[in-house]
Structure 1
Amino acid sequence: MAGPTTAERGERQQESSGPPLARRLGRLKPPRVRTIIILAVVLVLLGAGTVWVLYGSSWTRVERVSVSGTRVLTPMQVRAAAEVPVGAPLVSVDTDEIETRLRAKLPRIDTVDVVRSWPHGIGLKVVERTPVLIVQKGGNFVEVDDEGVRFATVSRAPKGVPALELRLSRGSAAASLRRFGEDRLVREAVRVAGAIPAAVARQTATVEVRSYDDILLVLSGDRTVAWGSSERGALKARTLTALMKAAPDARHFDVSVPTAPASSGS
């Protein structure tokens, strides 16, 4: 008698291996409705608890405001201008609004970073503007930073900061003023002040603007440097340093054309 065919052997093997996959998957029970409800309630409670902790409890309310980075300003001045709502929920504090308020009320502030310090603090990290020039105005002095921004008026000139003088009333100087405007000429003077070698900067009493391309440095000891325009500042700085070493007794230096410098007087 013949044995089972190949098809019959396949059917027997399938029967011995158990029910088909689809039948086994069908036996898996869906999640119980009660379990779903319990999970939903837990999630709702967690969300409500989080909202209450952030907005309703006393655990995350503003209790202190710290200030760092001040040099001329005092922490008290910064805190007063910031008007941080002490007692308010920390999460609700508008840090962008505080930053805008500080920059508007205290122009001496260049940048400020307002950060939340959980669970009870607000931190104000301040960077103040640094004067590179001062402009005398009556009995006071206006401080000018490296971007040409006139940011503060003080009664006493800060030490080591050159004075800016605009001599623009006649001839080409007046034409330069009409063409470029006073703000542009102030920015050119700022660029020159930023390019002066450190050793020379310490001796610079005045940056005198006569026109756009005629800027003069007045140093201690009645020495002068004809700088010209603010262009090629780095080359002029190197040239001036070498020129002053080569002619230490000279009274007048000219680097307005840095490839053809000159010195005179003794």
Structure 2
Amino acid sequence: MAGPTTAERGERKQESSDPPLARRRLRLSRLRTIIILTVVLVLLGAGSVWLLYGSKWLRVERVSVAGTRVLTPEQVLEAADAPVGAPLISVETDAIEARLRRKLPRIDEVDVVRSWPHGISLKVMERTPVLMVQKGGKFIEVDDEGVRFATVSTPPKGVPALELTVSRSSSAAASLRRFGEARLVREAVRVAGAIPAAVLHDTLVVKVRSYDDISLELRDGRTVVWGSGEKGAAKARTLTALMKASPRARYFDVSVPTAPASSAS
């Protein structure tokens, strides 16, 4: 049998050498693609960093304030001390929030938001007084958590005064030692939050003698013995019913809401 011709041997040799060459070309093509993609990504990253930190396009130009009632927007802006002119991305919103809370105790909640591309938005919620404490010629506002957050020269309208008049009796002294003044204030706040709206409108003073001896002095001279801050909803319902049943009474006792009492004096 005759062997392969010279031409056939050349063709086989060419076929055996083609695959390695093709693989090398494929690897080089992939390498070039990877290099190009890497360069593109590096350029995009550098461009993004420059856009956010180095350019003049994304910098703080304005700061807006919303939600103020007693505070003025100017007071909030001054306390916030937002870095106008700085890159917006670099603004530390937590630091601004902390400054506002520290400098303006009247602020209960604050939301500091970047408003792209040039702004910062400050949304505040102020504390609402539920009681006030008179000290000298000033009035200290107390919120629903018992926080004394502001001192004003004019008493807030419709807010009862808080009188902490712990008696010298052994039980009252023991109550003060056990609970502390701050706890007694919170208990008074708890009572103020449970007073029926119609009665709250006429309440001048919330008087605290001990933890379970809290009373209300109303505008027309009537007195309500409330007791502790416990069972506030039940006491409110009982007081409303008792006042309707005894409209001429001057004294009401709902300290035990299941056994209320009223009298003309």
1:78 aligned onto 2:80: no
- Separation of aligned partners in 2, 1:247 and 1:99: 52
CA distance, structure 1, for counterparts of residue 244 and residue 138 of structure 2: 37
Q: CA deviation at 1:39?
A: 1.5
Q: Distance in 2 between the 1:102 and 1:220 partners?
A: 38
Q: Provide the residue aligned with 1:64 in structure 2.
A: 62
Deviations 1:203-244 (A, max 9, x none): 111000011111010111101100001111110011111111
Mapped to 2, the partners of 1:169 and 1:65 lie a distance apart of 52
Shift of 1:66: 0.5
Q: Matched residues in 1 for 2:116 and 2:221: separation?
A: 58
Hey, what's the Cα distance between the residues in 2 that align with 1:152 and 1:45?
Answer: 54
Matching residue within 143, 149, 152 for 1:151: 149
Tell me the C-alpha RMSD between the 2 structures: 1.5
Structure 2 counterpart of 1:117, one-letter code: S
Residues 1:46 and 2:56 aligned together? no
* C-alpha separation in 2, matches of 1:36 and 1:180: 71
Question: Secondary structure, in 3 states, of the residue corresponding to 2:262?
Answer: strand
Aligned residue identity for 2:194: A
2:186 alignment counterpart: 187
Which residue of structure 1 aligns with residue 177 of structure 2? 178
Residues 1:125 and 2:118 are matched in the alignment: no
The residue number in structure 2 matching 1:29 is 26
Amino acid at match of 1:253: F
Secondary structure of 1:54's match? Answer: helix
Give the drift of 1:45. 1.0
Letter in 2 for 1:167: T
Question: Alpha-carbon deviation of 1:175?
Answer: 2.7
* 1:24-58 residue CA offsets vs partner (Å, 9 max, x unmatched): xx979344333222211111111111111100011
Matched residue pairs, number? 242
Letter in 2 for 1:105: K
Deviation, 1:180, is 1.4
TM-score norm. by structure 2 comes to 0.88
SS of the equivalent of 1:221 reads coil
* Structure 2 residue matching 1:188: 3-state secondary structure: helix
Correspondence 1:78-227 to 2 at 5 A:
78-171=76-169, 172-227=171-226
Runs of 4+ deviating beyond 3 Å: 26-32
The 3-state SS of whatever aligns with 1:58 is: coil
Q: Bigger CA drift: 33-42 or 68-77? A: 33-42
Shift of 1:248: 1.3
- Equivalent pair of 1:252/1:264 in contact (CA under 8 Å): yes
The question of whether the paired residues in 2 share the 8 Å contact of 1:108 and 1:128 is answered with: yes
Q: Secondary structure at the match of 1:222?
A: coil
Q: Which residue of 2 aligns with 1:55?
A: 53
Contact 1:148–1:186 under 8 Å retained in 2: yes
Paired residue type of 1:124: L
The 8 Å contact of residues 167 and 173 in structure 1, kept in 2 or not, is answered as no
Q: CA deviation at 1:173?
A: 2.4
* Distance in 1 separating the partners of 2:61 and 2:146: 38
TM-score (norm 1): 0.88
Distance 2:50 2:241 in 1: 70
Gaps of 5+ in 2: 1-18
Q: Residues of 1 paired with 2:135 and 2:53: CA distance?
A: 51
Give the Cα–Cα distance (whole angstroms) in 1 for the partners of residues 167 and 238 of structure 2.
Answer: 31
Contact 1:134 1:142 in 2 (8 A): yes
Give the whole-Å Cα distance in 2 for the aligned partners of 1:175 and 1:38. Answer: 80
CA distance in 2: counterparts of 1:150 and 1:204, whole angstroms = 20
